[in-house]
Amino acid sequence: MADIRNLANVPPPVGPYSHVAIVPAGASVVHISGQVASDANGDLLAKGDFRRQCRAAFENVGRVLSELGLDFQSVVYVRGYLTRPEDVPAYREERAEFYRRAGGELPPPTTTLVVRELYDPECLIEIDALAVLEGD
């Protein structure tokens, strides 16, 4: 398991994230590509509803982790791409709720970016992540 922590000489986090995650020697880092609010057929869900798209994107990250035998305790970094700056507070709330349900002591380090547009103009959020797969 990664060592997630906040540092004393760094300004405190302004949202649900931590300063660093230290991956143990011998572990592999899993790069999870951006997940959006799409269903099993690839159809975009909840058009126009940021919160529902955010939840669905996190759920899709969870599905990737599950397929690898991992869960959100294994996540060491999350990056969110939002298309509307006004959705940042809602993203922080949804991310905090997701981390709370995942049960970790501290949330992983995070970066949030506001971008002009994603691959589909109706897609309001995309989330990618890094996770740790413990070594043998």
Tell me, yes or no, whether 104 lies in a domain: yes
Question: pLDDT per residue over 75-97, tens digit each?
Answer: 999 999 999 999 999 999 999 98
Count of structural domains, the chain = 1
Q: What's the rounded Cα separation, in Å, for the pair 10 and 53?
A: 32
Q: How confident is the model at residue 70 (pLDDT cuts 50, 70, 90)?
A: very high
Domain that holds residue 38: 3-7+30-133
What is the domain-level CATH number for residue 79?
3.30.1330.40
Residue type, 51: R
pLDDT (0 to 100) of residue 29: 95
Tell me, yes or no, whether 94 lies in a domain: yes
Tell me, yes or no, whether 17 lies in a domain: no
Q: Span 107-129, mean pLDDT? A: 96
Tell me, yes or no, whether 111 lies in a domain: yes
